[in-house]
Amino acid sequence: MERLWSLLQRTQRLSPRPSQTIYKRVEGTQQWRLEEELEDGEDGAEPPAHFCPMELRGPDLGSRPRRQNLGFWAAAGRRAAPYLVLTTLLIFTGAFLLGYVAFRGSCQACGDDVLVVSEDLSYEPVLDSQQGTLYWSDLQAMFLQLLREGSLEDTIRLTSFRERVSGSAGMAALAQDIRAALSSQKLDHVWTDTHYVGLQFPDPARPNTLRWADTAGRPGEQLPLEDPDVYCPYSATGNATGELVYAHYGRREDLQDLRARGLEPAGRLLLVRLGVISFAQKVASAQDFGARGVLIYPDPADFSQDPHKLSLSSHRAVYGHFPPVQSSGLPGIPAQPISADIASLLLRKLKGPVAPQEWQGHLPGSSYHLGPGPGLHLVVNNHRVSTPISNIFGCIEGRSEPDHYVVIGAQRDAWGPGAAQSAVGTGILLELVRTFSSMVSNGFRPRRSLLFISWDGGDFGSVGSMEWLEGYLSVLHLKAVVYVSLDNAVLGDDKFHAKTSPLLISLIENILKQVDSPNRSGQTLYEQVVVNNHSWDAEVIRPLPMDSSAYSFTAFAGVPAVEFSFTEDGQAYPFLHTKDDTYENLHKVLRGRLPAVAQAVAQLAGQLLIRLSHDHLLPLDFARYGDVVLRHIGCLNEFSGDLKARGLTLQWVYSARGDYIRAAEKLRKEIYSSEDSDERLMRMYNVRIMREEGEDQQSQNRSLMEKQRGEERQSQVEFYFLSQYVSPADSPFRHIFLGRGDHTLGALLDHVRLLRSGSSADPGAPSPRVAPGLGFQESRFRRQLALLTWTLQGAANALSGDVWNIDNNF
């Protein structure tokens, strides 16, 4: 036993003493502090009671004649010793497990979000024996208390009153004020990036026009454009003449339906409704099907029919934009927004078959025929102007991982008043800056850096954020953890949606359970959304649309992103991207609840930032992409028979799908099965690939390095879905699930569907890049399948780790 005790003493002297970051609150004050404490005692301290050395003794009988009895006791002691040692070890093990369970239980009482473990030895502790421990609930309370002290509504109102067109004098003045506001806060860095970019504006000397055209294509009487200042930035310029055809929302399936009904879109002008997909997608689809131009109008059917609610004037047209780069989807045909009144006049001139019931709208006096109708002559004379735009940045440096950024941004510019478009987001951004700055003043310091950005050029295809992404494309996926967009955050108060990467779905669910509903007293947002739908994600989660400012972060740069929106129940906010998007109208649409809804968005975004910037393990659920892979590729199953009849197979992509799912499960086990490992594992998490290690890190054992690589792979899952086999210059949106181009799963599905259209192209056609209207092409299919399979297989291999760890079946 003495030998056992000696061994235990030696082990205790050699064992490292882990440290913990503990959040402390000064009792009786409003000050909040962080403190790092050593949990173990000093070297050489007295051993715990349950490690006391033991000595076996018999009764002191004191004389040689008792020798036989002494031998008996000695023999009994020798037989009992193993049982006593075993008993001691069992007592020690039981006490250890009891203490461990008690500690874990105290942490779990605060939720999974308790932030207690840290190995940041460079952090300077603040010691105060009177402080209490600050757990997640306390940190959350501090944030909410400081957020309530702001003036969010005033910031939104004052911002909406200011001129904010990119390049204007009003925008320059606002940019200076925003930078001054950030500089007045407790931020570590504030700076401005200015770029000169080509922005497209209407030409006052040559306004855009729309005229009737005769059978020979000669322009005749001009139709009045009731909102002449409204236009589509980056529309192709020039003339377009042709017969008019009504094409519903202008989706690919709508144009295929027209073709199936004997109405060829090629060579004609298309009249399409606002909504469902972006302006860019509508015009790009029209171009793919050979149309010469597009007219886009707001149909009353897509807005609220409640006579007691505000609605868009029939004289208003709606502003829309395209990506500013040709390879990003910039169309090659003219496009022009028109009002509902002009659209009604055009529809009444259309002949041909009546549109399907689901295509019918609510324009008065219109029977919604498909056409064709009389000829039209569209002239678009927009011109480009070299214009300075300024992005404004503010940063709170992280204490442990300062080169990892959690990015949150909001569009600052607006074509019109832009209350919902950008004033709300700008107001929330400034309030979050103020709140987190106050938290820093009270002792809070995030683990990772918080980067706050006010974007310029949002109404021109998010050109401001694209300039920043392009400048840091080669390293951004190594540094930016997540992007949170505040654009279009408040468009109503009935429904809540999160347009997001699958990696963030589980975290969003957790945060929704902790934010109060702005319009249902006593309920959280989570409880509000599950009232009518037990599948909360089906009710809330949406994919990132192409016209979202967050889209480029994921589809272009491979950074997970999210954009929150409160909306009206089933109807769009009617004034978005119009001259009527004023503070007064937004306030009326929300029936005075604008401050409450904006506050809910701020709470949601702020708590998301705390989790992302301060959890030791990044709360990214990479396993969610396994479900996405299954769901998307499962759509190909119904075409297996059609492909097999042509001697084609989807086996390659099925194999890559299985490899990815297995690799994701392997990585999940690798990360979460090391709960009882050395505390210093935590320091190795969330480090970018190929990062230079310090001498102390080089001495870490192999298991720590394997854990580091596992977390690196987790944080870059989104990047793995960017196709490495297409050029960013030709196809900037390289994401195979979310992007745009022949390399995407969506393009492959659109192509395979042509197998059932009854048409196919020559399988020996030389170019794989053909318009979808030319039928199925085997050569194009093989190329698409190869691009998709290589990217998915690469993602699986990257998740699996080093090449020597990859399953031989891959």
Q: Name the least confident of 4-8, 268-272, 687-691.
A: 687-691
* pLDDT exceeds 90 at position 625: no
Task: Give backbone dihedrals phi and psi of 582, rounded to 5 degrees, phi first.
Answer: -100, 165
Residue reference for tokens 């990506």: 323
Q: What is the pLDDT of residue 74?
A: 52
Mean pLDDT along residues 379-400: 95
* pLDDT exceeds 60 at position 808: no
Those residues whose C-beta lies under 8 Å from the C-beta of residue 733, and which sit 6 or more positions away, are: 328, 329, 551, 552, 555, 556, 739, 740, 741
Q: What is the pLDDT of residue 191?
A: 97
Q: What is the pLDDT of residue 324?
A: 61
Q: What is the pLDDT of residue 90?
A: 74
The per-residue pLDDT for range 420-461, each reduced to its tens digit, is 999 999 999 999 999 999 999 988 889 999 999 999 999 999
User: What whole-number percentage of the chain has pLDDT above 90?
Assistant: 50
Give the HSE-up count for residue 215: Cα atoms under 13 Å, Cβ half-sphere: 0
Q: What is the pLDDT of residue 514?
A: 92
What is the rounded CA–CA span in Å between residue 104 and residue 467?
47
The per-residue pLDDT for range 153-170, each reduced to its tens digit, is 999 999 999 999 999 999
Mean pLDDT along residues 602-631: 89
Q: What is the pLDDT of residue 666?
A: 81
Helix (H) or strand (E) run with residue 561 in it: strand 561-567
Q: Note whether 594 and 156 are within 8 A (CB).
A: yes
CA 312 remoteness from chain centre: 31
pTM summary value:
0.80
Residues counted in the chain: 810
The per-residue pLDDT for range 676-710, each reduced to its tens digit, is 444 344 444 343 222 333 333 344 444 444 444 44
* pLDDT top residue among 711 and 225: 225
Q: What is the pLDDT of residue 616?
A: 81
Q: What is the pLDDT of residue 633?
A: 82
Q: Name the least confident of 77-81, 659-663, 686-690.
A: 686-690
Q: What is the pLDDT of residue 562?
A: 97
Q: Name the least confident of 103-117, 341-355, 550-564, 726-740.
A: 103-117
**Confidence bin at 19 (pLDDT 50/70/90):** very low
Tokens of 85: 């040692």
Residue reference for tokens 């009518």: 532
- How would you label 332-370 residue by residue, b for 16+ Cβ within 10 Å and e otherwise? ebbbbbbbbbbbbbbbeebeeeebeeebebebeebebbb
Tokens of 619: 């709360």
Distances in Å between the alpha carbon of 47 and those of 10, 13, 157? 11, 11, 66
- How would you label 206-216 residue by residue, b for 16+ Cβ within 10 Å and e otherwise? eebbbbbbeee
Mean pLDDT along residues 203-232: 91
Residue among 366, 329, 331 nearest 350 (CA): 366
Q: Name the least confident of 23-27, 539-543, 706-710.
A: 23-27
Distances in Å between the alpha carbon of 367 and those of 246, 362, 790? 11, 9, 50
Q: What is the pLDDT of residue 687?
A: 37
* pLDDT exceeds 90 at position 350: yes
Residue among 774, 780, 776 nearest 266 (CA): 774
What is the rounded CA–CA span in Å between residue 406 and residue 481?
5
* pLDDT exceeds 50 at position 30: no
| Residue 142 identity | M
* Beta pairing, strands 375-380 & 383-396: unpaired
User: What whole-number percentage of the chain has pLDDT above 70?
Assistant: 74
* Beta pairing, strands 238-246 & 269-273: parallel
Q: Name the least confident of 374-388, 656-670, 750-764.
A: 750-764
Q: Name the least confident of 628-637, 662-671, 735-744.
A: 662-671
Those residues whose C-beta lies under 8 Å from the C-beta of residue 672, and which sit 6 or more positions away, are: none
Those residues whose C-beta lies under 8 Å from the C-beta of residue 669, and which sit 6 or more positions away, are: none
* pLDDT top residue among 615 and 504: 504
Mean pLDDT along residues 555-572: 89
Q: Name the least confident of 497-501, 545-549, 627-631.
A: 627-631
Residue among 448, 436, 437, 407 nearest 120 (CA): 448
* pLDDT top residue among 166 and 762: 166
Sign of CA dihedral 761, 764, 765, 771: positive
SS3 per residue for 134-172: ECHHHHHHHHHHHHHCCCHHHHHHHHHCCCCCCCCHHHH
Task: Give backbone dihedrals phi and psi of 490, rounded to 5 degrees, phi first.
Answer: -125, 100
DSSP 696-760: HHHTS-HHHHHHHHHHHHHHTHHHHTB-TTS-TTT-S--BTTT--STTSHHHHHHHHHGGGTT-B
Mean pLDDT along residues 144-158: 88
Q: How many CB atoms lie within 10 A of CB 255?
A: 28
Q: What is the pLDDT of residue 262?
A: 92
Q: Name the least confident of 113-117, 231-235, 551-555.
A: 113-117
- How would you label 744-772 residue by residue, b for 16+ Cβ within 10 Å and e otherwise? bbbbbebbbbbbeeeeeeeeeeeeeebeb
* pLDDT exceeds 50 at position 23: no
* pLDDT top residue among 12 and 792: 792
Mean pLDDT along residues 598-609: 96
Mean pLDDT along residues 504-528: 90
Q: Note whether 720 and 800 are within 8 A (CB).
A: no
Helix (H) or strand (E) run with residue 526 in it: helix 525-529
DSSP 763-794: TT-S-S---GGG-B-HHHHHHHHHHHHHHHHH
Helix (H) or strand (E) run with residue 191 in it: strand 189-201
* pLDDT exceeds 90 at position 419: yes
Distances in Å between the alpha carbon of 294 and those of 218, 325, 600? 19, 19, 39
Average pLDDT, the chain: 79
Q: What is the pLDDT of residue 96?
A: 64
**Confidence bin at 367 (pLDDT 50/70/90):** confident
What is the rounded CA–CA span in Å between residue 441 and residue 116?
21
Q: What is the pLDDT of residue 600?
A: 95
Ramachandran area for residue 234 (φ above 0: left; ψ -120 to 50: alpha; else beta) = left
What is the rounded CA–CA span in Å between residue 148 and residue 435?
9
What is the rounded CA–CA span in Å between residue 342 and residue 655?
53
